[in-house]
Amino acid sequence: MRRLRYLGNEKFIIETVADPIPGPNEVVVSMRVAALCGSDLHIKEQHDVEFAHHPNHVARTPSHEPAGIVSAVGTGVQNVKVGDRVAVYHKVGCMTCESCRAGNLVMCGHGGALSSEYDGAAADLLLVPKENCLPLPDDLGFEDGAIMMCAGGTAYSGLLKARVTSGESVAVFGCGPVGLATIILARAMGAHVFAVDISEARLEMAKRVGANQVFDSSKDVKEDDVYDLIHGFTIPASKTVRKLREMTGGNGVDCVVECSSSAQARINGVDALAQYGRMVLLGISNQFRDHFDFQKSLEPDKLIFKELQVFGSNVFPLHLYDRMVHFMINNRVSFSPMITHRFPLEQGPEAFRTAALATSGKVVITWELHNR
Ligand SMILES: [Zn+2]
Ligand SMILES: [Zn+2]
């Protein structure tokens, strides 16, 4: 089989290696779609640091948003059989700790993930534990199956935490792939969606996937006289906040989904929220280890006075998968409109370069180009 490998210094190769053979409780999936995630770009940057210190460092195969067809199973595999369509959950858990037993593999302290500790999906064949193989109904395409595995699932889980209901307003800050998935799902939940970004191209995409209104915050300025929702006087906030307040009859938005990791967006999110508003934090930068400025970006006093609720949300728990599948099918939701680029595996390096551009939406490696 062929697989994509990162060698550091912006160099990739497509190498040919032996096909994987499944051991007990393992499954080999013939890839149909392997989407690239923002985390793939973060992981690539971390590899560069590793290569600088350890020239013999080996980067795992990238991509942790896989969907395909089961091509081989090891002994003890009963949940899937050869020929089944599957999406592949990318967190690998120990399957014995309390988090894993509850389906929260993402919170396992002893686990890992495809594309970081384990080889990912940018290869003709993917070897995974059986519990990571999730049945993909015929009603959903491989692109949807793949995107559900990280960006889509992250957005869905976040929106459930925020308890978004029909008729509410949702402001999505950051219109990269997670933000675009959030817009698609929030619209399907019946929300009125505002999209905020600093990139014109991404705001165009936000409109295309269904955002009701978009705001360019690239030239955001401080305004000193934004009406305070609690005290009846004016406070300093930003132009973006003023606009969002105006668009919601002065009340502020019911929910904010922060997908950019920008400190300014987090501040805007808090200020734009209505009383009793809910905010979900999904965006994280690769710099969080060095620059932990979270405290600076969320002011506790504002949370207290408006009785806000703030949630962190980390990918999605395995047990949400079936609910998400039913939601997608029953509401005829597809993530395909957020895909801007499709590449065959041999153009994997180009796929990575494209995914790093602020002008791209979702970038996928696909074995299905001829089927489109
Ligand atoms: Zn991801
Ligand atoms: Zn575990």
CATH at 18: 3.90.180.10
Query: Do 166 and 266 belong to one domain?
Result: yes
Q: In degrees rounded to 5, what are phi and psi of residue 143? A: -65, -45
Query: Do 220 and 182 belong to one domain?
Result: yes
Query: Do 160 and 135 belong to one domain?
Result: no
Q: Is residue 321 part of a domain?
A: no
Ligand 1 centroid, distance to 114 Cα (angstroms): 10
Answer yes or no: are the C-beta atoms of 211 and 172 closer than 8 Å: yes
Query: Do 281 and 339 belong to one domain?
Result: no
Q: Is residue 317 part of a domain?
A: no
Query: pLDDT tens digits for the chain (372 residues)?
Result: 999 999 998 999 999 999 999 999 999 999 999 999 988 988 888 898 899 899 889 999 999 999 999 999 999 999 999 999 999 999 999 999 999 999 899 999 998 999 999 999 999 999 999 999 999 999 999 999 999 999 999 999 999 999 999 999 999 999 999 999 999 999 999 999 999 999 999 999 999 999 999 999 998 888 888 888 887 888 888 999 999 999 999 999 999 999 998 889 999 999 999 999 999 999 987 665 555 555 556 778 889 999 999 999 999 999 999 999 999 999 999 999 999 999 999 999 999 999 999 889 999 999 998 766
Query: Do 235 and 270 belong to one domain?
Result: yes
What's the mean pLDDT when you consider all of the chain?
A: 93
Q: Provide the 10 A C-beta neighbour count for residue 218.
A: 10
Ligand 2 centroid, distance to 108 Cα (angstroms): 4
Ligand 1 centroid, distance to 36 Cα (angstroms): 8
Instruction: List the structure tokens of 243.
Output: 């606009």
Which ligand ends up closest to the CA of 362?
Answer: 1
Residues around ion ligand 2, judged by CB within 5 A, are 93-94, 97, 100, 108
Answer yes or no: are the C-beta atoms of 202 and 358 closer than 8 Å: yes
Which ligand ends up closest to the CA of 314?
Answer: 1
Ligand 2 centroid, distance to 102 Cα (angstroms): 9
Q: Is residue 327 part of a domain?
A: no
Query: Do 78 and 114 belong to one domain?
Result: yes
Query: Do 339 and 307 belong to one domain?
Result: no
Query: Do 127 and 233 belong to one domain?
Result: no
Domain boundaries, position 363: 2-141+334-371
Ligand 1 centroid, distance to 65 Cα (angstroms): 7
CA distance 325 to 333: 10
Which ligand ends up closest to the CA of 318?
Answer: 2
User: Global pTM?
Assistant: 0.95
Query: Do 89 and 177 belong to one domain?
Result: no
Ligand 2 centroid, distance to 94 Cα (angstroms): 4
Q: Is residue 319 part of a domain?
A: no
Ligand 1 centroid, distance to 91 Cα (angstroms): 10
Q: Is residue 320 part of a domain?
A: no
Q: Is residue 147 part of a domain?
A: no
Which ligand ends up closest to the CA of 92?
Answer: 2
Which ligand ends up closest to the CA of 112?
Answer: 2
pLDDT in tens, 184-216: 999 999 999 999 999 999 999 999 999 999 999
**CATH number of domain containing 156:** 3.40.50.720
Query: Do 304 and 216 belong to one domain?
Result: yes
Query: Do 102 and 26 belong to one domain?
Result: yes
Query: Do 33 and 81 belong to one domain?
Result: yes
What's the total number of domains in the chain?
2
Which of 197, 202, 201, 199 minimizes the C-alpha distance to 215? 197
Q: Please report, as a single letter, which amino acid is at residue 339.
A: I
